[in-house]
């Protein structure tokens, strides 16, 4: 599992021109799921992020496991969507159980106009 954590004054997720989730001052966490991730990986990320007293916006981001093969991006090591959706939902629930439930927002986003993550 990979996570990019960014402290933000505010953050939101917009889908088709409609805001579906928003937080005030807090942490924006982009979460990439690997095909071999397990519950212990989710618990580890939850413990690391929840050491602060912030609102948290979790956003599924499969491109964190993208690699370039020639000129084409390859996402074969990212968890497949049929497995990723329930796994991500359980990750969001883990965050809610270990923190203030109303401070955790989670969105599954699989559609981007330019999916790219640079390291």
Q: What CA–CA distance (Å, rounded) separates 96 from 42?
A: 12
- Is 22 marked active-site? no
Residues whose CB falls within 8 Å of the CB of residue 29, separated by 6 or more in sequence, listed in order? 3, 4, 5, 6, 49, 56, 57, 58, 59
Find out whether 27 and 59 touch, Cβ atoms under 8 Å: no
Query: What is the C-alpha to C-alpha distance for residues 31 and 25, in angstroms, rounded to an integer?
Result: 19
21, 63, 98, 117: the catalytic one is 63
Distances (CA, A) of 114 to 18, 52, 64: 18, 31, 13
Residues identified as active-site: 63
């Amino acid at each position: 599992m990979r996570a990019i954590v960014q402290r933000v004054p505010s953050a939101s997720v917009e889908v088709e021109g409609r805001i579906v989730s928003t937080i005030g001052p807090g942490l924006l966490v982009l979460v990439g799921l690997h095909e071999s991730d397990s519950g212990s990986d989710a618990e580890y990320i939850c413990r690391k992020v929840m050491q602060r007293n912030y609102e948290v916006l979790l956003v599924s981001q499969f491109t964190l496991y993208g690699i370039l093969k020639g000129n084409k991006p390859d996402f074969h090591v990212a968890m497949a969507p049929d497995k990723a959706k329930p796994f991500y939902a359980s990750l969001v629930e883990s965050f809610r159980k270990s923190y203030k439930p109303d401070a955790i927002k989670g969105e599954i986003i699989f559609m981007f106009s330019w999916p790219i993550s640079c390291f």
